[in-house]
Amino acid sequence: MDYYKIIGGKKLKGEVEISGAKNAALPIIVASLLADGETELHNVPNLKDILTIIKVIECLGAETEFNTEKNILKIKINKIKKAEIPYDLVKTMRASVYVMGPMLARLGFADVSLPGGCAIGERPIDIHLSGFESLGAEIGVERGYVIAKAKKLKGTRFIMRKVSVGATINIMMAAVMAEGETILENCAMEPDVVDLANFLIKMGAQIEGAGSERIVIHGVKKLKPVTHTIMPDRIEAGTYLLAGAITRGEVTITHAVPEHVSALCNALSEIGFIIKQGNDWVRVSAGKKLRGVYVKTLPYPGFPTDLQAPMMALMTTLPGISVVNETIFENRFTHVGELRRMGAHIETEGNMAIVHGGKKLSAAPVMMSDLRAGASLVLAALAAKGISEIRRIYHSDRGYEKLSEKLSMLGADIKREKGGGY
């Protein structure tokens, strides 16, 4: 298995181009199932999760051609077929459950393995399922699979009990071809939801309010295939800004949407970093005096949970005390133990972490436990003195395109090595 070897201590400097957003591309690829014909998607990141979702739609009869050099994915749908989505695919990536929405809309039937637990808490899909029920589907569980059936989906008013990106996306995809009007309340306002809605609107769907708490959908009978460019990845963008910050360098992210990283930039400014930005770029550089910070993760436009672990790596290098309050997922502190192995002083209690900063991080062999925890270890290793070896990098392969190449271009000493048994 591959691992990263990082010699820390280099200040990162330069520009890095942000790839297409994984979390927007996943539902958009799935939404292509809603129309017969050829969909063409641009700026699709070449990531493990994208290859998994491609396999998922292929189960349902899609023909695909992914040009990984040009990041163009062509998807051809002749007729979608009834098929079950196996546990192997859903367990590697929970977003596989997104096919339920389009399957219900087009086939009146969905048969998808239940995801089960995962490294960052329980992550149930009950809100997705109650939304489908509200649209008229019957839901059952057999042999570990959720089976949803509906002769005809009918418009409804559905209030989500909790803000959920996945449920907003899945229910919206089911409702676009339901009969009549659907009103969704307490929706996720994440840019990924908006990018999907824009794609669906291009296809002929009638959707208003995406990006707000209330989405109104008027069902249409048919959608057409279109060409669409995936928006930039705000979590990747945030990770590179944090890489600049943790090494006290000067990093500019390009091909980005500055508004999407506002919560992070506010926190970085509060710490004392200097943030400059233009239409599609943001630059971070170190200020004269830095201090600790309090960060609470919240649904968009709040501080994203996906940047919590990378942010915590930065906190370990700040003077004084910083605090993290993780309100989205339970059990999202799996990076803490590994950061401690690198010399960090972090206490946790429930969903709070108190970081006693100002300690010099030291290199150590560490292991990724999930995608974003993995990113935090890479950042810590970039700042640490000595040579760190980071294992289980298949986690970061899920969500960071050309991670070592991009960091090397910024001046990091990072190598992807072969071998190592764990």
Which residues have a catalytic role annotated?
A: 118
The 3-state secondary structure of 305-342 reads: HHHHHHHHHHHCCCCCEEEEECCCCCCCCHHHHHHHHC
- Rounded to a whole number of angstroms, the minimum distance from the CB of residue 115 to ligand UD1 is 9
* 116 makes contact with ligand UD1 (CB under 6 A): no
Q: Are 56 and 245 in contact (CB under 8 A)?
A: no
Q: Which stretch binds ligand UD1 (CB under 6 A): 78-86, 118-126, 202-210, 249-257?
A: 118-126
- Rounded to a whole number of angstroms, the minimum distance from the CB of residue 7 to ligand UD1 is 30
Backbone angles phi, psi at 56, to 5 degrees: -60, -45
Cβ proximity to ligand UD1, 295 vs 363, nearer residue: 295
Cβ proximity to ligand UD1, 129 vs 346, nearer residue: 129
b (16+ CB within 10 A) / e for 281-295: bbbbbbeeebebbeb
* 32 makes contact with ligand UD1 (CB under 6 A): no
* 311 makes contact with ligand UD1 (CB under 6 A): no
51, 213, 329, 369 from 295: Cα distances, Å: 33, 23, 14, 22
Backbone angles phi, psi at 364, to 5 degrees: -160, 160
Q: Are 416 and 4 in contact (CB under 8 A)?
A: yes
Candidate list 43, 164, 317, 396; residue touching ligand UD1; CB under 6 A: 164
- Rounded to a whole number of angstroms, the minimum distance from the CB of residue 324 to ligand UD1 is 15
Cβ proximity to ligand UD1, 156 vs 247, nearer residue: 156
As a whole number of angstroms, the distance between CA 277 and CA 79 comes to 46
Rg of the chain over Cα atoms, rounded to whole angstroms, equals: 21
* 23 makes contact with ligand UD1 (CB under 6 A): yes
Containing 175, the helix (H) or strand (E) segment is: helix 165-175
Q: Which stretch binds ligand UD1 (CB under 6 A): 126-134, 137-145, 387-395, 410-418?
A: 126-134
* 125 makes contact with ligand UD1 (CB under 6 A): yes
Cβ proximity to ligand UD1, 106 vs 128, nearer residue: 128
As a whole number of angstroms, the distance between CA 66 and CA 34 comes to 19
Q: Which stretch binds ligand UD1 (CB under 6 A): 82-90, 123-131, 146-154, 381-389?
A: 123-131
Q: Which of 420, 317, 304 is nearest to 366 (CA)?
A: 420
* 124 makes contact with ligand UD1 (CB under 6 A): yes
* 305 makes contact with ligand UD1 (CB under 6 A): yes
> Strand runs (DSSP E) across 150-279, as ranges?
157-159, 181-185, 206-208, 215-218, 227-229, 250-254, 274-277
* 152 makes contact with ligand UD1 (CB under 6 A): no
Candidate list 96, 112, 128, 172; residue touching ligand UD1; CB under 6 A: 128
Question: Quick check: helix, strand or coil at residue 259?
Answer: helix
Neighbouring CB atoms inside 10 A of 130's CB total: 17
* 329 makes contact with ligand UD1 (CB under 6 A): yes
Scan residues 218-277 and list those touching ligand UD1 (CB under 6 A): none
Candidate list 30, 95, 174, 264; residue touching ligand UD1; CB under 6 A: 95
* 187 makes contact with ligand UD1 (CB under 6 A): no
As a whole number of angstroms, the distance between CA 2 and CA 422 comes to 9
- Rounded to a whole number of angstroms, the minimum distance from the CB of residue 281 to ligand UD1 is 24
Cβ proximity to ligand UD1, 292 vs 304, nearer residue: 304
Q: Which stretch binds ligand UD1 (CB under 6 A): 7-15, 38-46, 116-124, 278-286?
A: 116-124
The 3-state DSSP composition of the chain as helix, strand, coil percent (nearest 5) reads: 35, 30, 35
Residue type, 338: E
* 328 makes contact with ligand UD1 (CB under 6 A): yes
Cβ proximity to ligand UD1, 273 vs 303, nearer residue: 303
Q: Are 54 and 73 in contact (CB under 8 A)?
A: yes
- Rounded to a whole number of angstroms, the minimum distance from the CB of residue 395 to ligand UD1 is 13
Q: Which residues bind ligand UD1 (CB under 6 A)?
A: 23, 26, 94-95, 121-128, 162, 164-167, 188, 192, 305-306, 328-329
